[in-house]
Amino acid sequence: MKKIFIIHGWGGNPDEPLLVWLDSELQKKGYEVVRPAMPNPLEPKIEVWVAHLASLVGVPDENTYFVGHSIGCQTIMRYLSTLPDDIKVVGGALFIAGWFNLAHLEEYDGQGAEDIGRPWIENPIDFEAIKKVCPAITVFLSTNEPYEYVEENKHTFEEKLNAKVFLIENKGHFTAEDGVVSLPEALALL
């Protein structure tokens, strides 16, 4: 049976409408879905989130799939890059509002956003290790992403990970606040 791990983003939770909708639709198709609450979502730390995901997944295989939103995409990529050589391949990954760089973190400085986001932006990701275990990566980005860098992020996903990137009009950061509570395009690809 195919197992899909849905990882929410920074400041998010597993009960966000889009993630709940995806979970429900995937279960209808017979997939086993794991939609965990990630530790301390207001102050996500790379090591903590990657270790938490690793403990949830156990030993992945070709029937293991990942869906990430925002920093959840970073978590999945960083997790995949740590897999040992005896793990040959996972089923694939779907990233929604994935990023490598963010704008406007200074607007949230009272919450320490720059200090929280900096390690995720500055610590390198081992793209070659990811491609070895996850050759099938699809990304959904919005044309009006509030954290900007849409073209830069698109280029990095395509260039470094051979990802198939879809730019969708006016979905913001793909949150309920942006009016996004379902994403049939993503479901069709899963």
Q: Give the pLDDT confidence of 168-178 residue by residue, as tens digits.
A: 999 999 999 99
How many domains does the chain divide into? 1
Using the structure block, give the residue that is written with the tokens 């005896």.
Answer: 86
CA dist 64 and 76 (Å) reads: 12
Using the structure block, give the residue that is written with the tokens 């966000």.
Answer: 16
Q: Give the pLDDT confidence of 14-26 residue by residue, as tens digits.
A: 999 999 999 999 9
Identify the pLDDT of residue 189. 85
Per the structure, the complete domain to which residue 93 belongs is given by 3-189
Average pLDDT over all residues of the chain:
93
Q: Give the pLDDT confidence of 113-157 residue by residue, as tens digits.
A: 778 888 999 999 999 999 999 999 999 999 999 888 999 999 999
Q: Give the pLDDT confidence of 67-77 residue by residue, as tens digits.
A: 999 999 999 99
Here the CATH number for the domain that contains residue 85 is 3.40.50.1820
For residue 151, CA distances in Å to 28, 70, 141, 157, 167 come to 35, 16, 9, 10, 10
Sheet harboring 64-69: ordered strands across? 32-34, 3-7, 64-69, 92-96, 137-142, 164-168
pTM: 0.95
CA dist 61 and 135 (Å) reads: 13
Using the structure block, give the residue that is written with the tokens 């006016």.
Answer: 170
